[in-house]
Amino acid sequence: MAIFHTNFLFFWFSFLLFFSFAVCSRYEQEELQWLDDKDDEINMVQNRHSSLRSCDFGTGKWVYDQSYPLYDATCPYLSTAVTCRKNGRPDSDYEKWKWKPHGCEIPRFDALDFLGRIRRKRIMLVGDSIMRNQWESLVCLVQSVIPTARKTVTYIGPTMAFQALDYETSIEFCWAPFLVELKKGPGNKRILHLDLIEENARYWRQVDVLVFDSAHWWTHSEKWSSWDFLMEGNNAYKNMNPMVAYEKGLMTWANWIDLNIDPRTTRVFFRSMSPKHNRENGFKCYNQREPIGYLSHPHVPEQLLVLQEVLKRTRFPVYLQDITTMSALRQDGHPSIYARALGEKAKREMRGYSSDCSHWCLPGVPDTWNEMLNAML
């Protein structure tokens, strides 16, 4: 009886062991199959990212897309100067052009996906009023999916921050048109310090994604010059080639980035110069209704050449976001006379009204810059 009992236990143990092995094998096979599937997905994602990295977003063409714009022109975060429809612009096709790079696609902006990826992070756009133009675009691209009570805007010094509270995320703008410091000196003179940056840069610390621009204020004509003197160390200059000054200012910025930003925690982008269309007394962009098909002689601004040379010398991996050529095709995208509300008489006569051919109507061209930035992220 004891022998039978022992044999029975041995048989039962062997059966359980075999069954367990069979079940485990089946589950292991399913697990391996699942992992293989996931590997395929991972490879697909990696291949897509590789194709995005190899894609030249800056060359392509504008195609009309009825599904645009990506947000409504009544977005409450738009400043008056860019709300062209509200200000009386009669056409709206400028809102419906999509940029198609040669050989690849820029993914359509998905607000929930973007917010999910920058959860618990800060993204800051640093620069001039055209960078604010881009900041307003980015805020309008995401704000509609956030309940009213869960979003806010705060102001600290030269910064403003849109906060998505449920995502613990902020999308910020920092006013620093030169990046380096512009200060008041004796006699109320404006002094641009080519080698000083910390007063502005202190706002850039602990930010996860930094996007810079600086170009327009360096090239204002003598009448509209933004400074009275330039200083480098103890040396003051009344006259200096603007591009030499620009390079010196950018090198101060680049050195600060190299010394103060950790590439393991922070991504840094530099957006190239936004082109103007303000020849012919500033009215070249007035009444333009569609993009230019192509540029027979593409002009590369000197500022972009200087920027490219500076970026080559930085140790920090700064990504150049080149929007210059694509935006040069969009002389239809500026506010022109619609940077403020006009009455019917003013629209007919147009006397005494300036034409803004530098900033951009929203929705409009900067939305595409942000779709590109989203893809680069």
Give catalytic residue positions: 129, 356, 359
Do residues 95 and 363 make contact, with C-beta atoms less than 8 angstroms apart?
A: yes
Measured CA distances, 61 to 277, 298, 325 (Å): 18, 14, 10
Q: Is 290 left (phi over 0), alpha (psi -120 to 50) or beta?
A: beta
Give bridge partners of residue 232 from the DSSP assignment: 235
Amino acid identity for residue 329 in this structure: L
List phi, psi (to 5°) of 29: -65, -45
Q: How far apart are CA 375 and CA 377, in angstroms?
A: 5
Structural tokens at position 132 = 């604010």
Do residues 162 and 150 make contact, with C-beta atoms less than 8 angstroms apart?
A: no
Do residues 214 and 249 make contact, with C-beta atoms less than 8 angstroms apart?
A: yes
Give bridge partners of residue 184 from the DSSP assignment: 190
Up-side HSE of residue 160: CA atoms within 13 Å toward CB? 13
- Which residues in 238-263 are b (16+ Cβ under 10 Å) and which e? eebebeebbbbbbbbbbbbbeeebee
In 142-196, the DSSP E strands lie at 151-156, 159-164, 169-175, 181-184, 190-193
Do residues 231 and 338 make contact, with C-beta atoms less than 8 angstroms apart?
A: no
Measured CA distances, 307 to 201, 212, 323, 332, 364 (Å): 19, 11, 13, 27, 26
Q: Which single residue is written with the structure tokens 């002009």?
A: 299
The SS3 assignment for 55 reads coil
Q: How far apart are CA 155 and CA 135, in angstroms?
A: 14
